[in-house]
Amino acid sequence: MRFQRIGVVGGGSWGTALALVAARAGRDVSLYARDAETVSSINASRQTPRLPGITLDRPIKATGDLAQAVDADAVLLVTPAQTTRALAGQMAPFLRAGTPVVLCAKGLEHGSGKLLGDVLAETLPGASVAVLSGPSFASDVARGLPTAVTVAAGDADLADDLARALACDSLRPYSSTDLVGVQIGGALKNVLAIPCGVIVGRGLGASAQAALIARGFAELSRLAKAMGAQSETLSGLSGLGDLVLTASSPQSRNMAFGIEVGRGGSVAELTAPGTKLVEGVHTAPVAVELGRREGVELPICEVVASVLADVLSVDDALQTLMSRPLKREI
């Protein structure tokens, strides 16, 4: 096996679930976590506070030593999108040239508006950039429920080998070379899940939710294609598949956040320090700016960003979308 030793950077629920998948696939896994309690709990009892009620059924070596974790054949970077540049910078002194680094976060970088893969290429120029994305909840993956994802890399053989390294009875990775499409799908689905949650919280009906998912997918596709993505990627796991999951289940943090907003919750209170991270909140304004840069209309993303910035109320946002000029669907 080309990638026998897998390092996972990020001891949250998703990082731990992916570490467990790699261990189930027969790989030797080191998991880096900053929290000493998480490290000791995994090593002592095969449990973690990040996945309550789940016992890790394969051996994983947790560590607080970043250098130890990235001394591997391939590294999964599983930390929030806005920490990608900082974490990659911390990894740089320890990472061997040519080591594949697989991005497992979904978002766009604030300030630069760059794809996370581009951020990684800047920060770790000697690494081979790859991306893992698709419809997957950490708890489902950790429990061994059947899941399929996309693993993308610019080099087809690398994507194939990474997929083989992570494949097990409960996870089926499909390989791809479309880094742009996989990243845009993962980033925008978080934004689009927020208004779907608002619809549920406001009691606006399943018809409205279905319409928003369909029109949101059209926005996601327009932007991704303008940036060079392939249509097949967008209609696959990391595009439509991930959007359907995230925009239809309150298990999604983004949709759950939208539900609370729809019920009248304050955005400021829901995003206050100490609350759960909602990636779509950070991605929405960046996506709007990226759309303007690419000359692509993103009306749903725009009203989401306006609601989050307290420029529009939920009712005004709905009116804005429903009163847009009529047009042909295609």
**Catalytic positions, written as ranges:** 189
| Closest residue by Cα to residue 16 from 43, 40, 50 | 50
Q: Strand pairing partners for 174?
A: 150
How many whole angstroms separate alpha carbon 262 and alpha carbon 265?
A: 7
Neighbours of 265 (CB within 10 A): 14
